Amino acid sequence: MKRLVGLLVLLIFVLQSFAIEPVNPYNPESNSSFMHENSISIYPPASEYDLSIMNLQLDVLGIVFFGPQVTLDFQFANMIAVGPYFRWHYAGVFYQGIVTDWFSDETTTSIASYSIGGQVKFLIPIGSGQHRPYIEVGFEKSIGSDWWNPEGTWGKRIYEYESNVFHLNAGYRLLTEGSFNLSAAVGIGFSKDTKNIGYYEDGEGDIDYYQLESRVLPMVQLIIGWQLGK
């Protein structure tokens, strides 16, 4: 009997601890405060390091390699970023070196040498989300042209080439409490030529079709970014 009474008292105590406080219709502020304090959410609390709607980025190290790259990412689920990018090959030293045989001839790279593409990033939050290692996959269409003047009667010799490039990168992003963020990445690109021709400016002679080649390209990026929106 004593055990039964003890269990009953314990049960009443437990039920009282989970009792629902009655709502006071004359004091909505206290009701709201009570519901907020005692509610359980399935979503993690917001952090100052959550991803914003968009992130505008510039690969400054592209000047050394295949040209600076501008990217506009649309970010969702606090870890996925998808967006287009534009790379200006003309402003890349490594690209200029390849086209001009490492600056040893009189070839001039066209200012209209560029790539357009798209990419997907998976930014994995660690702790508060300030530190985010990530994996990136992307595809781009590269378009380029150069010319040289053989001082003949047919004018400039023009070369045009295009290629499809698939890339895979691994990187790290550091977020700040403000909008600024900094990323660094290394990766590899697989390039396949789809066009490689040469012809004279005045149209004389036949168009020469050169062999289409495949290449493996190293990629190194140092990216500054600025988050936009909330």
Residues 82 and 181 placed together within one structural domain of the fold: yes
Can you tell me which residue has the tokens 């870890």?
79
Residues 27 and 117 placed together within one structural domain of the fold: no
Q: Which residue range is the domain that position 14 belongs to?
A: 2-38
Which pLDDT score, from 0 to 100, does residue 104 have? 73
Residues 153 and 179 placed together within one structural domain of the fold: yes
Q: How many domains does the chain have?
A: 2
Residue 199 is encoded by which pair of tokens? 């012809």
Average the pLDDT over each of 29-43, 141-155, 210-224 and give the range with the smallest value.
29-43
Answer yes or no: is pLDDT of 106 > 90: no
Can you tell me which residue has the tokens 């992003």?
173
Burial code of 13-48, b = ≥16 C-beta within 10 A, e = fewer? eeeeeeeeeeeeeeeeeeeeeeeeeeeeeeeeeeee
Which pLDDT score, from 0 to 100, does residue 15 have? 40
Tell me the pLDDT tens digit for each residue of 143-184.
Answer: 999 998 877 667 788 999 999 999 999 999 999 998 999 999
Residues 111 and 25 placed together within one structural domain of the fold: no
Answer yes or no: is pLDDT of 11 > 50: no
Which pLDDT score, from 0 to 100, does residue 29 have? 54
Average the pLDDT over each of 7-16, 120-129, 185-194, 196-205 and give the range with the smallest value.
7-16
Answer yes or no: is pLDDT of 1 > 60: no
- Mean pLDDT for all residues in the chain: 83
